[in-house]
Amino acid sequence: MPTTNKYWAASLLCLLFSFNASAQGDAKIGKLKTMACMGCHGPTGNSFVPSFPSLAGQPAGYIAKQIQDFQSSDRYNVMMSKIALGISKYDAEHIAAFYESQIKTPVFKNIAHLKTDAKKTALLTLGKKLYNNGNPNTGQAACFVCHGKNGDALVDLNIPTLANQHPQYLISTMKEFKNRGRANDDERVMRRIVDTMSDEEIEAVAYYSSYLVPTLEGKK
Protein backbone atom coordinates (compact mmCIF):
# COMPACT_ATOMS: atom_id res chain seq x y z
CA MET A 1 0.00 0.00 0.00
CA PRO A 2 1.43 3.45 -0.92
CA THR A 3 2.53 5.60 2.03
CA THR A 4 -0.21 8.17 1.42
CA ASN A 5 -2.89 5.47 1.54
CA LYS A 6 -1.42 4.09 4.76
CA TYR A 7 -1.55 7.58 6.21
CA TRP A 8 -5.26 8.04 5.55
CA ALA A 9 -6.08 4.43 6.41
CA ALA A 10 -4.59 4.89 9.87
CA SER A 11 -6.67 8.02 10.33
CA LEU A 12 -9.87 6.24 9.38
CA LEU A 13 -9.16 3.27 11.66
CA CYS A 14 -9.70 5.53 14.63
CA LEU A 15 -13.20 6.42 13.49
CA LEU A 16 -14.16 2.91 12.44
CA PHE A 17 -13.04 0.94 15.47
CA SER A 18 -13.09 3.24 18.50
CA PHE A 19 -16.85 3.44 19.03
CA ASN A 20 -18.15 2.05 22.29
CA ALA A 21 -21.32 2.74 24.23
CA SER A 22 -20.83 5.53 26.76
CA ALA A 23 -20.66 4.60 30.40
CA GLN A 24 -23.80 5.42 32.39
CA GLY A 25 -23.08 6.49 35.94
CA ASP A 26 -24.00 8.94 38.68
CA ALA A 27 -21.35 11.59 39.30
CA LYS A 28 -22.55 12.22 42.87
CA ILE A 29 -22.14 8.56 43.76
CA GLY A 30 -18.85 8.49 41.90
CA LYS A 31 -17.42 11.29 44.02
CA LEU A 32 -17.91 9.15 47.11
CA LYS A 33 -16.05 6.28 45.45
CA THR A 34 -12.87 8.19 44.62
CA MET A 35 -11.21 8.38 48.03
CA ALA A 36 -8.56 5.86 46.99
CA CYS A 37 -7.97 7.76 43.74
CA MET A 38 -7.22 11.18 45.24
CA GLY A 39 -3.65 10.46 46.26
CA CYS A 40 -2.51 10.13 42.64
CA HIS A 41 -5.21 11.85 40.58
CA GLY A 42 -6.17 14.69 42.92
CA PRO A 43 -9.54 15.43 44.62
CA THR A 44 -11.13 16.60 41.37
CA GLY A 45 -9.15 14.46 38.96
CA ASN A 46 -6.45 17.06 38.38
CA SER A 47 -3.20 15.29 39.09
CA PHE A 48 -0.39 17.20 40.77
CA VAL A 49 2.26 14.70 39.66
CA PRO A 50 3.35 14.77 35.98
CA SER A 51 3.66 10.99 35.78
CA PHE A 52 0.04 10.48 36.90
CA PRO A 53 -2.71 11.33 34.39
CA SER A 54 -5.31 13.99 35.05
CA LEU A 55 -8.76 12.39 34.77
CA ALA A 56 -10.89 15.52 34.99
CA GLY A 57 -12.92 16.04 31.84
CA GLN A 58 -12.01 12.67 30.34
CA PRO A 59 -14.88 10.84 28.59
CA ALA A 60 -16.65 8.56 31.05
CA GLY A 61 -16.62 5.68 28.61
CA TYR A 62 -12.85 5.94 28.23
CA ILE A 63 -12.24 5.92 31.99
CA ALA A 64 -14.60 2.98 32.54
CA LYS A 65 -12.86 1.03 29.78
CA GLN A 66 -9.43 1.63 31.33
CA ILE A 67 -10.65 0.32 34.69
CA GLN A 68 -12.09 -2.73 32.93
CA ASP A 69 -8.83 -3.27 31.05
CA PHE A 70 -6.82 -3.11 34.28
CA GLN A 71 -9.17 -5.72 35.75
CA SER A 72 -8.84 -8.06 32.77
CA SER A 73 -5.06 -7.51 32.44
CA ASP A 74 -5.51 -6.02 28.97
CA ARG A 75 -3.66 -3.09 30.50
CA TYR A 76 -1.16 -3.37 33.34
CA ASN A 77 0.13 -0.98 35.97
CA VAL A 78 1.64 -2.18 39.21
CA MET A 79 -0.67 0.06 41.25
CA MET A 80 -3.82 0.43 39.15
CA SER A 81 -4.13 -3.26 38.31
CA LYS A 82 -4.50 -4.02 42.01
CA ILE A 83 -6.84 -1.11 42.79
CA ALA A 84 -9.11 -1.89 39.84
CA LEU A 85 -9.83 -5.38 41.13
CA GLY A 86 -11.80 -3.84 44.00
CA ILE A 87 -14.03 -1.73 41.75
CA SER A 88 -17.36 -3.11 40.59
CA LYS A 89 -18.71 -2.49 37.09
CA TYR A 90 -21.30 -0.06 38.46
CA ASP A 91 -18.81 1.78 40.67
CA ALA A 92 -16.49 2.12 37.67
CA GLU A 93 -19.28 3.85 35.75
CA HIS A 94 -20.04 6.15 38.72
CA ILE A 95 -16.36 7.04 39.13
CA ALA A 96 -16.06 7.66 35.40
CA ALA A 97 -19.12 9.94 35.44
CA PHE A 98 -17.66 11.96 38.32
CA TYR A 99 -14.34 12.58 36.60
CA GLU A 100 -16.02 13.42 33.31
CA SER A 101 -18.03 16.12 35.10
CA GLN A 102 -14.93 17.84 36.50
CA ILE A 103 -13.17 20.80 34.88
CA LYS A 104 -9.54 20.36 33.95
CA THR A 105 -6.93 22.65 35.44
CA PRO A 106 -4.42 23.74 32.77
CA VAL A 107 -1.08 22.03 33.19
CA PHE A 108 0.70 25.14 31.97
CA LYS A 109 -0.71 28.62 32.57
CA ASN A 110 1.09 30.41 29.77
CA ILE A 111 2.86 29.40 26.59
CA ALA A 112 4.53 32.81 26.09
CA HIS A 113 7.65 31.94 28.08
CA LEU A 114 8.55 29.29 25.51
CA LYS A 115 9.35 32.01 22.98
CA THR A 116 12.59 32.65 24.80
CA ASP A 117 13.57 29.02 24.51
CA ALA A 118 14.41 28.20 20.89
CA LYS A 119 14.48 24.46 21.48
CA LYS A 120 11.05 24.31 23.07
CA THR A 121 9.61 26.64 20.44
CA ALA A 122 10.92 24.38 17.69
CA LEU A 123 9.49 21.36 19.49
CA LEU A 124 6.03 22.94 19.72
CA THR A 125 6.18 23.94 16.06
CA LEU A 126 6.94 20.35 15.09
CA GLY A 127 4.23 19.11 17.42
CA LYS A 128 1.63 21.40 15.85
CA LYS A 129 2.58 20.23 12.36
CA LEU A 130 2.32 16.54 13.28
CA TYR A 131 -0.85 16.97 15.34
CA ASN A 132 -2.72 18.79 12.58
CA ASN A 133 -1.21 17.22 9.46
CA GLY A 134 0.48 13.99 10.47
CA ASN A 135 3.44 12.87 8.39
CA PRO A 136 2.52 11.48 4.97
CA ASN A 137 6.13 10.44 4.41
CA THR A 138 6.09 7.96 7.29
CA GLY A 139 2.37 7.19 7.34
CA GLN A 140 1.70 8.91 10.66
CA ALA A 141 -1.94 9.93 10.90
CA ALA A 142 -2.86 13.41 12.05
CA CYS A 143 -3.70 13.33 15.76
CA PHE A 144 -6.70 15.65 15.41
CA VAL A 145 -8.61 13.00 13.43
CA CYS A 146 -9.32 11.16 16.69
CA HIS A 147 -8.37 13.64 19.40
CA GLY A 148 -9.96 16.76 17.92
CA LYS A 149 -8.52 20.07 16.73
CA ASN A 150 -8.56 21.38 20.28
CA GLY A 151 -7.47 18.18 21.98
CA ASP A 152 -10.95 17.38 23.28
CA ALA A 153 -11.50 14.26 21.16
CA LEU A 154 -14.60 13.15 19.32
CA VAL A 155 -17.77 12.90 21.38
CA ASP A 156 -19.02 9.39 22.27
CA LEU A 157 -16.03 7.56 20.81
CA ASN A 158 -14.36 7.06 24.21
CA ILE A 159 -11.11 8.58 23.01
CA PRO A 160 -9.00 10.35 25.65
CA THR A 161 -8.77 14.12 25.87
CA LEU A 162 -5.18 15.33 25.39
CA ALA A 163 -5.62 19.03 26.13
CA ASN A 164 -4.24 20.03 29.54
CA GLN A 165 -2.83 16.56 30.10
CA HIS A 166 0.66 16.23 31.57
CA PRO A 167 3.07 15.98 28.61
CA GLN A 168 5.31 13.66 30.64
CA TYR A 169 2.41 11.23 30.98
CA LEU A 170 1.58 11.50 27.28
CA ILE A 171 5.19 10.78 26.36
CA SER A 172 5.40 7.71 28.59
CA THR A 173 2.04 6.45 27.28
CA MET A 174 3.02 6.73 23.62
CA LYS A 175 6.33 5.03 24.32
CA GLU A 176 4.48 2.27 26.15
CA PHE A 177 2.41 1.65 23.04
CA LYS A 178 5.53 1.75 20.87
CA ASN A 179 7.46 -0.65 23.12
CA ARG A 180 4.38 -2.88 23.49
CA GLY A 181 4.22 -2.31 27.22
CA ARG A 182 0.62 -1.27 26.56
CA ALA A 183 -1.65 -2.90 24.00
CA ASN A 184 -5.25 -2.07 24.91
CA ASP A 185 -5.87 0.19 21.92
CA ASP A 186 -8.73 -0.98 19.71
CA GLU A 187 -7.51 -2.47 16.42
CA ARG A 188 -3.93 -1.44 17.32
CA VAL A 189 -4.72 2.14 16.30
CA MET A 190 -2.20 3.80 18.62
CA ARG A 191 0.46 1.17 18.07
CA ARG A 192 0.20 1.60 14.30
CA ILE A 193 0.65 5.35 14.67
CA VAL A 194 3.50 5.52 17.21
CA ASP A 195 5.43 2.88 15.27
CA THR A 196 5.95 5.58 12.64
CA MET A 197 7.16 8.21 15.13
CA SER A 198 10.60 9.03 16.46
CA ASP A 199 11.17 9.91 20.13
CA GLU A 200 11.50 13.56 19.13
CA GLU A 201 8.15 13.47 17.32
CA ILE A 202 6.49 11.78 20.30
CA GLU A 203 7.81 14.47 22.63
CA ALA A 204 6.74 17.24 20.24
CA VAL A 205 3.17 15.97 19.93
CA ALA A 206 2.91 15.45 23.70
CA TYR A 207 3.97 19.00 24.53
CA TYR A 208 1.90 20.62 21.79
CA SER A 209 -1.30 18.73 22.66
CA SER A 210 -0.91 19.50 26.37
CA TYR A 211 -1.20 23.21 25.61
CA LEU A 212 -4.44 22.88 23.66
CA VAL A 213 -7.63 24.25 25.23
CA PRO A 214 -10.66 21.97 24.79
CA THR A 215 -13.74 23.63 23.33
CA LEU A 216 -15.96 21.59 25.64
CA GLU A 217 -14.36 23.13 28.74
CA GLY A 218 -16.83 26.00 28.96
CA LYS A 219 -19.80 23.65 28.71
CA LYS A 220 -19.06 21.74 31.90
Let me know whether 90 and 136 are in one domain.
no
Residues 113 and 202 in one domain: yes
- Could you tell me the pTM of the whole model? 0.86
Report whether 213 contacts 150 (CB < 8 A).
yes
Q: What is the pLDDT of residues 111-151, one digit of tens each?
A: 555 556 787 788 899 999 999 999 999 999 999 999 999 99
Q: How far apart are CA 34 and CA 171, in angstroms?
A: 26
> 153 with 176, same domain?
yes
Give the whole-angstrom CA distance, residue 32 versus residue 13. 37
Residue 2 within a domain: no
Say whether both 199 and 215 belong to one domain: yes
Q: Please count the structural domains in the chain.
A: 2
Q: Are 157 and 62 in contact (CB under 8 A)?
A: no
- Label residue 218 exposed, middle or buried (CB < 10 Å: 0-12, 13-18, 19+): exposed
pLDDT digits (tens, 9 = 90+) for 163-206: 999 999 999 999 999 999 999 998 999 999 999 999 999 999 99
